Structure 1
């Protein structure tokens, strides 16, 4: 049996009534007319650090807003909301900032003069801030947006990383946390921003969300100061189990899987070993993100070529993913120099795994030479000629590993990573080497 609930706002309170339905049944039929949209205001919540709420944007940085500061100290625009007019009746100017002498200046008050609270030195980890900016929006809303700037491997380039969230409480028992995960000062970017509802695993923001067992339609205002929601009616659902066919790369104590996100057209939903199943509206989905943690090591996962699946009404669907993990890399030669690229780690569904910081666990490369038998023919035996660790940058991202070898030989290039999450992973490539 499955308990299906309907909800309706009555006198400012979200009330529920439930019926026991057969397994996989959809929501109860709508009553007379649709439920009205309910507006709920949010409150700002400052975060102690960026990882207080771990979201996809902290690891997959492709969609995070970037700022490119000229090295000569020229001010540039910081792309954060500045709609409307100021106290002087004039349009609000965009936020400006500059990189000067290993420090960041942001003109937070718009007077074009550096103030004590507008300057932050760049720390050894490449971070500057926090900064508190009075953002304003086209609908007249405004709010303080707190963030820091984090250096990338590109000179003068920084990411805008959120240090705040917006919290809505539709009922006394429910909390909806909105996170501007792409760092543009807007909270309504479907598929890019993040949402955390009660004790559910974090997921990308969508147009639907669960409160308890009830599915709601959701609208988030750009400023994040208000959300609108109403119980969703007239939909069909199927059950998704994301851990029935998941294979752990290795059995590890204290492994935590924070979230596994299934993303569809209208919504994303988070899963975990503690919440492995969920009823989702019918449609096409993809396994787009997962986050693993063990001790000081973190690994995140992005979708592959076999991670998509469809949800059909009143049926259960599973996805085969996980181990064993294989390592892919390229080996190229230019004269005596042989370069091994940073690897990619791939699971059985083609999903890609990325250690968040290679400084935690050393990553090794090997240069081996194939040996010849008594007749001068190449055998499968190899002799190691060089071993070294892959170098990494200030953010813990790998750089290519370069060996120098000056003899004509048939080489085996190998890489090895002994992860507490992915397990021992090894990859090999063969290269006919002629240094001339």
Structure 2
């Protein structure tokens, strides 16, 4: 214990020139502790008051919250009622709109169904037309295949040209004015001969046109192949023209010219455009190259010539009929003149009858005057024109009957 004061008096800390002992430090520490305890008490009291104030504020806020909650519940109830009413109105409006929309949809669906049915009906009709057209196209394709087969075969191709030529000739000329596959005096048999009028020589028509070289021209690829095919085509035509000129041009039996029938207008135009030398050679050989249209025109000209020749042959018959017609006209003129004379005599007879009836009327008037005196005479004078008119009407009716009788007698 005796060391405690000594210990407290010993220096514990030096701050510059000042020295702080342990005792001072203990005092400072006690003072600091007291200050700290005072601060703690003050803080505790202050926190206690703050907690009391916070509790009061919390209670006030809680009451405000409860009041606001009550108001909110009232407002929520009003809003619930309002929402319920609005929901009922909305449900009713939606129901009405749905009903109207359902009706419109039903009407639209019915109209759409009707339109779809009509469209399907029209589509079926068009499909039927398309089926018919397709059948026609298939038939036409078959015919084209047959035509291709015909044109690919030389014999059938000749028969094709022969049939076209025969159809044109048979349609344009009367039966007996032509003959197919007739035999000439030199033994050759042309495809057709047309008999000319007045004993003139017959016209020869050949339909065996060579188309192999022409098909080769169309199938050729390249200028060299086309040139070779053109040369072959020219050579075949020249040979055919020479054969027609040597076989079918017979003096006194056939005409000086013969027809070489080309069964295609395109081939005919190609010959005249690109093979003009062949046309000149045919003219020199007295062979005329004709297409179907030119052959038809030539046949029509020959038909007109034959018709004119028949009219010339029948000219004497027509002249005889005209003479007999003139005789009938003269006889009719004579009978008309006789009838005119009868009418003149009848008119003169009617005039004489009218004179006699006039005299009778006047005499009857005089007789009535003599019997009835002056008064009766005046009445008769006033009635005289009526009697005269009646007499004239009777005379006119008799004249008409006489004229009718005269006409019937003449007839």
TM-score, length-scaled by structure 2:
0.21
Which has the bigger relative contact order, CA under 8 A and spacing at least 6?
Answer: 1
Decide which structure has greater helix share: 2
Which structure would you say has the larger Rg? 2
Higher normalized strand content (fraction of residues): 1
TM-score by length of 1: 0.20
